[in-house]
Chain A
Amino acid sequence: MIAEQCLFWLFATLACGGAISVAICQSVVRMAMSLIVCLASVSALFFLLHADFVGAVQLMVYVGGTIVLLIFGIMLTASAPFLKIRASPAEGFLAAGIGVFFLAVIAFTVAGISDLEWSSIDRNLSALTTPSDVTSGYNDSSSGNTTRPLALSFLGLRPDKGGNAPGYLLPFEIVSVHLLVVLIGAAYLARPKRRVSAEE
């Protein structure tokens, strides 16, 4: 509980601080950096709010997609010459150290799981194919396990509500088509055109 609270306060501070600094910063690159921090913190907040899937999607789409897009945009529309992008060697060492630390954490996690547990995961997963367990998923949803219910609702089923509560099949389809159209449109809009000369 206390850990949750501390993590909550931490990530809340990071999110708000990042947001405010986006508003305050003058340089657009710094704004982009702050935005990354803010969006990542919001994803963490989602995790804390037992919305695992939404948090994961947030990380993937926003931080991984949108921010990249924004940075592309900044670079394409840069008016001032950029600084040198060559990283200094000091930063190389720092990055290497953090990399090693990460590697160690991941290796430790992977090594802690025995072969038996790896295979039991397989068995447990296949045992979960009975209809009665389909809706609930691997763990119950009270601890953030919302993937399966969300997916089922996208397919038009709402097991958590019972009865004949409508699902979100139609909005799902619409949004998918919408995405397609929008992306095609954006690609068309951003196509290379004859560059307008400077005097015009």
Chain B
Amino acid sequence: MDQVSLSHLLWIGAILFVSGVVCMTTKRNGIGILMGVELVLNGANVNFVAFARYTQLGLDGQVVALFVIVLAAAEAAVALAIALNFYNNHHTIDVDRGDSLSG
């Protein structure tokens, strides 16, 4: 097989991203949506690190990937707190039950 090049890694990143989006849109479980968010962020991270390895981006890509990881962790914490509140208010984690903001 040919050398591992940038495009392979971009493919992987894309697959991760798209899976994450699909997961976000299709899951009724709130935690499932959170998982989708994690997948999206990971896809982005893969892209960043790939570009850091194969282009002139260099260290900056890895720095940004670090930041993304940190922020994703913070966001996961907050989102979980929201999900817990949602569960407390609605007695279910089914996000389709939370449509009181419908117009």
Stretch from A60-68, A89-97, A98-106, A116-124 forming part of the interface with B: A60-68
Binary per-residue interface labels of chain A (6-23) against chain B in the complex, 1 for a CB within 8 Å, 0 otherwise:
001100100110011011
In the docked arrangement, what's the CA distance between A67 and B3, Å?
Answer: 33
When the two chains form their complex, are residues A195 and B88 in contact, meaning their CB atoms are under 8 A apart? yes
When the two chains form their complex, are residues B20 and A19 in contact, meaning their CB atoms are under 8 A apart? yes
When the two chains form their complex, are residues B36 and A46 in contact, meaning their CB atoms are under 8 A apart? no
Minimum CB–CB distance from A37 to chain B (whole Å) comes to 12
When the two chains form their complex, are residues B30 and A77 in contact, meaning their CB atoms are under 8 A apart? yes
Minimum CB–CB distance from B18 to chain A (whole Å) comes to 8
Q: How many of A's residues come within 8 Å of B, CB to CB?
A: 63
Binary per-residue interface labels of chain B (76-93) against chain A in the complex, 1 for a CB within 8 Å, 0 otherwise:
111011111101110111
A49-B65 contact in complex given A73-B84, A74-B31, A77-B83, C-beta closer than 8 Å = no
Chain A CB within 8 A of B101 CB: no
A190-B87 contact in complex given A23-B26, A73-B34, C-beta closer than 8 Å = no
Closest to B65 in A: A54
Report whether over half of chain B's contact residues are helix, strand or loop; otherwise say mixed: helix
Identify which of A35, A74, A178, A196 contacts B71 (C-beta below 8 A).
A178
Residues of B within 8 A of A50 (CB): 53
Minimum CB–CB distance from B3 to chain A (whole Å) comes to 8
Report whether over half of chain A's contact residues are helix, strand or loop; otherwise say mixed: helix
When the two chains form their complex, are residues B62 and A189 in contact, meaning their CB atoms are under 8 A apart? no
Q: Considering the complex, which residues of chain B in the window 54-99 have a beta carbon less than 8 Å from any beta carbon of chain A?
A: 58-59, 62-63, 65-67, 69-78, 80-85, 87-89, 91-94
Residues of A within 8 A of B9 (CB): 45, 49
Identify which of B8, B23, B52, B69 contacts A23 (C-beta below 8 A).
B23
Closest to B22 in A: A23
Q: A: which residues have CB within 8 A of B?
A: 4-5, 8-9, 12, 15-16, 19-20, 22-23, 28, 31-32, 35, 38-39, 42, 45-46, 49-51, 53-54, 57-58, 61-62, 65-66, 69-70, 72-74, 76-77, 79, 146, 149-150, 153-154, 158, 160-161, 168, 171, 175, 178-179, 182-183, 185-187, 189-190, 193, 195-196, 198
Q: B: which residues have CB within 8 A of A?
A: 1, 3-4, 8-9, 12, 15-16, 19-20, 22-23, 26-27, 29-32, 34-36, 38-39, 42-43, 45-46, 49-50, 52-53, 58-59, 62-63, 65-67, 69-78, 80-85, 87-89, 91-94
